[in-house]
């Protein structure tokens, strides 16, 4: 049965509804973030908005405080969902390295053999707005990352225009969800300001109606005081994050680039001016996803990479081996020539030990004939044991020739 892409996904993401929704591996933090938003709104609706409605606007017009808070909360939750449940801009990984970028190299071992190695340049240069930009190779995804792309170690994916991995939304922030992330953070900031302001207004109304002090009003509505403290603390987080990202948008930077290259004093080739940077972030069309998580996987035929190197010996070692074999063949020819001369000399001579010489000559011939195939076998197989036998045969054959020559010389002397 064919499998879908999300079923064989190599990243750390989690999928719901058959691959229609994609979350990060820490998606468990989304319910926690949801509670951080919905809990204070519930307390605000019950203990502040309803009482404030009766104090300021006795008629049905007082419901505007409650309805505004609820609707704005729903808007914030929708932005949270759009940020965390969509593809942030994942670059599809390759199943094999790009062949056009492969570099072949060889390493020579101590025994003279060459080991082929395949290397891929770690970086390469690309042009962005007429400026050369260096991009890096990702070993995990087996691709050269596009400009402003980085590999998220949590999600285990390369993400286009990678900003950071946000644990509060359980997802990477990239080119496809950065707009919604900023709107979520800024809307949460506005919601905190709204709840804080309405709670402070309710305290002020209690003071005016009962002509009391601040402490007396706070005792009458402790929930309003708790909401003010909660929103004040939250504002330091979401408000500061909103301000920081406003600066990043105005300069067309990402959080990753700001922290990584801040000390390098690099020229930001992506900065097109404050107004154009904001238009690019909020008014440009969201890029379509490069992944079809519900598509069926197509089986790819295995690809063979032909190495440009061989397992042969280097030229010097090969030349030395050829010289060795040539020398051994010449030695064999010299031995055969000596044997033929001795045989001819003994045939023309007269003596009583002719039979004995023939036996010696036959033995030398046998030794020489046995040695010849041994040398051929050694040249074919390179067997060390055979080489040792050949050397022993050389010693025996050489000794027999010397003895035969000495015997023939003594015979002539007599």
Q: Helices marked H in 59-131 — which ranges?
A: 63-84
Question: Quick one: which H or E segment has residue 112?
Answer: none
State the DSSP code for 237.
I
Nearest to 296 by CA among 2, 53, 59: 2
Q: Helices marked H in 85-221 — which ranges?
A: 178-210, 214-220
Q: What is the DSSP string of 242-281?
A: HHHHHHHHHHT--HHHHHHSGGGT---TT---HHHHHHHH
What is the signed CA dihedral for 149, 150, 155, 159, rounded to 10 degrees? Answer: 0
Active site residue 166: yes
For residues 235 and 197, give the distance between their C-alpha atoms in angstroms, rounded to a whole number: 12
Other beta carbons within 10 Å of 75: 15
Residues comprising the chain, all counted: 414
Residues 128 and 269 sit within 8 Å (Cβ to Cβ): yes
For residues 240 and 253, give the distance between their C-alpha atoms in angstroms, rounded to a whole number: 17
Give the relative orientation of helices 354-381 and 384-413 as an angle to the nearest 10 degrees: 160
Q: What are phi and psi for residue 16, nearest 5 degrees?
A: -130, 155
β partners of residue 236: none
What is the signed CA dihedral for 234, 239, 244, 170, rounded to 10 degrees? Answer: 50
For residues 64 and 154, give the distance between their C-alpha atoms in angstroms, rounded to a whole number: 43
Of the candidates 166, 172, 192, 231, the residue annotated as catalytic is 166
Active site residues: 166
């Amino acid at each position: 049965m064919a499998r879908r892409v999300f079923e064989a996904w190599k990243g750390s993401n989690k999928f719901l509804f058959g691959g229609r929704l994609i979350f990060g591996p820490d998606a468990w933090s989304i319910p926690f973030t949801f509670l951080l938003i919905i809990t204070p709104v519930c307390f605000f609706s019950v203990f502040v908005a309803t009482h404030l409605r009766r104090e300021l606007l006795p008629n049905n017009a007082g419901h505007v405080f409650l309805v505004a808070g609820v609707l704005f909360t729903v808007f914030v939750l929708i932005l949270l969902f759009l940020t965390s449940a969509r593809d942030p801009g994942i670059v599809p990984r390759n199943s094999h390295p790009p062949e056009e970028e492969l570099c072949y190299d060889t390493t020579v071992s101590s025994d003279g053999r060459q080991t082929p190695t395949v290397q891929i340049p770690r970086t390469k240069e690309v042009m962005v707005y007429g400026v050369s930009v260096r991009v890096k190779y990702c070993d995990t995804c087996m691709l050269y990352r596009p400009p402003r792309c980085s590999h998220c170690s949590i999600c285990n994916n390369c993400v286009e225009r990678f900003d950071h991995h946000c644990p509060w939304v359980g997802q990477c922030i990239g080119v496809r969800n950065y707009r919604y992330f900023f709107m979520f953070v800024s809307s949460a900031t506005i919601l905190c300001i709204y709840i804080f302001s309405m709670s402070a207004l309710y305290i002020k109304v209690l003071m005016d109606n009962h002509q009391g002090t601040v402490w007396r009003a706070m005792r009458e509505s402790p929930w309003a005081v708790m909401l003010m403290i909660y929103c004040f603390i939250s504002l330091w987080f979401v408000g500061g994050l909103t301000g920081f990202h406003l600066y990043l948008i105005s300069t067309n930077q990402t959080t990753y680039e700001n922290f990584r290259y801040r000390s390098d004093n690099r020229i930001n080739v992506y900065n097109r001016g404050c107004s154009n940077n904001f238009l690019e972030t909020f008014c440009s069309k969201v890029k379509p996803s490069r992944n079809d998580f519900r598509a069926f996987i197509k089986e790819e035929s295995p690809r063979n990479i032909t190495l440009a190197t061989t397992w042969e010996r280097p030229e010097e070692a090969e030349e030395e081996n050829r010289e060795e074999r040539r020398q051994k063949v010449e030695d064999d020819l010299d031995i055969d020539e000596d044997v033929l001369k001795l045989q001819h000399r003994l045939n023309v001579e007269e003596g009583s030990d002719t039979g004995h010489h023939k036996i010696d000559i036959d033995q030398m011939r046998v030794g020489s004939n046995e040695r010849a195939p041994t040398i051929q076998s050694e040249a074919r197989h390179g067997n060390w044991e055979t080489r040792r036998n050949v050397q022993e045969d050389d010693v025996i054959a050489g000794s027999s020739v010397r003895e035969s020559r000495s015997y023939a010389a003594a015979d002539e002397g007599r």
